[in-house]
Amino acid sequence: MSVVVKIKEAAVRSIEAIYSVSIKPEQILVNATKPEFEGDYTVVLFAFVKQLKKSPDALGQELGEHIVAQNPNLFTGFNVIKGFLNLSVANQFWLDFIAAQKNNQQYGIQPSNGKKVMVEYSSPNTNKPLHLGHLRNNFLGWSIAEILKANGYEVAKTCIVNDRGIHICKSMIAWQLFGHGATPASTGMKGDHFVGDYYVKFNDAYKVEVAALVASGMEQEHAEKAAPIMKETQQMLLDWEAGKPSVMELWRNMNGWVYEGFDTTYKKIGSDFDKTYYESNTYILGKDLVESGLEKKVFFQKDDSSVWIDLTGDGLDEKLVRRKDGTSVYMTQDIGLAVHKYDEFKADQSIYVVGDEQNYHFKVLKLICQKLGIPAADGIYHLSYGMVELPTGKMKSREGTVVDADDLVDAMVNIAQQKTEELGKVKDFTSEELVELYDTIGLGALKFFLLRVDPKKKMIFNPEESIDFHGFTGPFVQYTHARIKSILRKQEDTVLQNSGTEVLLPLELELTKHLELFPSVLEEAAIEHDPSKVAIYLFELAKTFNGFYTQHSIANAESDEKKSLRIYLSKLTAQVLQRGMSVLGIRVPERM
């Protein structure tokens, strides 16, 4: 149990004992005490002044006296400043915390809580390779899954591949027109890049045809529908839905090329899935649910036979769930897939990692599932995230201006090599070790930079800024871990003392406090579905350690007890940095 939780519970007990009022622990706000005041943690009292009919200072005084008197092993004193109750935590509490973690290899990892969560992320289209936006999606999904695992959840990582539809047919038509039998093998190209090029070729040819029709006097809107290449594409979609053998064979071949490319990229970035769904298998799901919804009066049918749901009472609008020709829409498919996934995994919560342009869609999806009485509908959660842009602006896949994921990872590794060599500290590394080191730093910088921002916020990615060994970056945290490992290697022969009675100096105490927060940070990140909580914490921990080590020598400590204490603190810091970075999908080197 963290010290903040202990403080909240102590405050709850004291309020009940003094005032006979029941308060829940989550109603108590506890912050770190500001440096200019005496104390370690501050209880904010203003929320209870009216309810308890006390002035802030009087409430603080009465509460402080009772809390300290009832918890003499935890608190040594208190003070009240302008309605804020500042509590001083006993030195022995921190020493006991350090001692408890000496042999705890699972620090921060919670036991199973018996709950299941499914996290769906990546969701690529098979007409183009993964790009920068997909990287933020993958890193968010993967890290949230790992953070939930650390909090005791059983997690299933899933992916839905959009492998059918008009966008796939565009690449297929372009290959038929311009490919001349070429394959990834014959061109030496990665499969997803190969197919993606034909998607761009389609768009180029389409624009030329539309322009020619407009120049001949046709209106733009009509020209866009009448362009021959678009008509061929729409016919191909109909042939696919009808199962025409030649179209199905081409579809399977081109998707196969893309999957090989995806697998290479996923392996490179460390992304994996427990189950992959394919839209070509799931798009028919949900049709039976429409009939069920009509029977339950959840849906209604219009005169043209189309089926809708009226969500105006929920502050939304009417939503189509089946077209007049009987075909399903994306919403129908998503409802069906939600049921299918629950039947397979029985997850209590289903998290969808999808960009914020789909906020409305997922609000509607959850509402419909709830109205249909689908199991665990309340557990549907949209992890919405903002788009990633470059300093030069937005990306457009149809124009071939996206930042390819593979190219970006390679560029990051090259920048890592360049900046590491400039520091000149890797002369004793073998060539194999250097390859691994540059990959670790480059990919770590990319992941940390994309995860350090609140998912809900739009962000601008700057490759050069992300690899800075002194800034708010992955390499700074990695370097701190490697630095600690170097320090510890020099102290391997030290015989450690275990007196456990040292008085912690201010920077030793600050580092200890930071380490004690780790499980709470992981819990907060899981509750808020926000890996940036972990990234920010790790950066602050690395800064705190560097400040501590600058002031306090380990090799020349004032006593053997102090030396042992600082070694223990260093070991625990390295362990927390390694574990925290691991839930973000980032490796930390033993030396840099």
Whether 398 has a pLDDT exceeding 70, the answer reads: no
* Percentage of the chain modeled with pLDDT above 90: 84
Please report the pLDDT score of residue 401 as a whole number: 54
- 79 and 176 inside one domain: no
Neighbours of 38 (CB within 10 A): 11
- 208 and 64 inside one domain: no
Quick: pLDDT tens for 21-38.
999 999 999 999 999 999
Domain endpoint, select from 245, 271, 297: 271
- 70 and 196 inside one domain: no
More confident residue, 117 or 560: 117
**Three-state SS across 254-321?**
HHHHHHHHHHHHHHHHCCCCCEEEEHHHHCCCCHHHHHHHHHCCCCEECCCCCEEEECHHHCCCEEEE
Three-state DSSP at 372 gives: helix
Q: Round the average pLDDT of the chain to a whole number and report it.
A: 93
Please report the pLDDT score of residue 393 as a whole number: 55
Confidence of residue 395 (pLDDT cuts 50, 70, 90): very low
Please report the pLDDT score of residue 71 as a whole number: 96
- 433 and 574 inside one domain: yes
Q: 216 lies in which domain range?
A: 165-271
Percent of the chain as helix, strand, coil, to the nearest 5: 60, 10, 30
Please report the pLDDT score of residue 397 as a whole number: 44
Please report the pLDDT score of residue 400 as a whole number: 47
Between CA 392 and CA 404 the distance in angstroms is 15
Please report the pLDDT score of residue 426 as a whole number: 81
The predicted model gives 583-588 an average pLDDT of 98
The predicted model gives 164-184 an average pLDDT of 96
Domain endpoint, select from 61, 89, 117: 89
> Could you give the number of structural domains in the chain?
3
Whether 402 has a pLDDT exceeding 80, the answer reads: no
For residue 314, is it within any domain? Answer: no
Domain endpoint, select from 271, 300, 321: 271
- 453 and 564 inside one domain: yes
Question: Which CATH number is 65's domain given?
Answer: 3.30.1360.70
Quick: pLDDT tens for 86-100.
999 999 999 999 999
Quick: pLDDT tens for 296-326.
999 999 999 999 999 999 999 999 999 998 8
For residue 322, is it within any domain? Answer: no
Give 328's strand partners. Answer: 322
Sign of CA dihedral 456, 457, 458, 464: negative
More confident residue, 496 or 438: 438
For residue 482, is it within any domain? Answer: yes
For residue 95, is it within any domain? Answer: no
Quick: pLDDT tens for 87-146.
999 999 999 999 999 889 999 999 999 999 999 999 999 999 999 999 999 999 999 999
Question: Which CATH number is 457's domain given?
Answer: 1.10.730.10
For residue 465, is it within any domain? Answer: yes
For residue 288, is it within any domain? Answer: no
For residue 535, is it within any domain? Answer: yes
More confident residue, 172 or 398: 172
- 170 and 64 inside one domain: no
What's the pTM value of the predicted model, to 2 decimals? Answer: 0.93
What is the DSSP secondary structure assignment for residue 37, as one 8-state letter? S
- 425 and 569 inside one domain: yes
- 69 and 178 inside one domain: no
Give DSSP secondary structure letters for 494-546.
--------PPPPHHHHHHHHHHHTHHHHHHHHHHHT-THHHHHHHHHHHHHHH
The set of residues, in sequence order, having a beta carbon less than 8 Å from that of 138 and lying 6+ positions away, is: 121, 122, 130, 266, 269, 271
For residue 306, is it within any domain? Answer: no
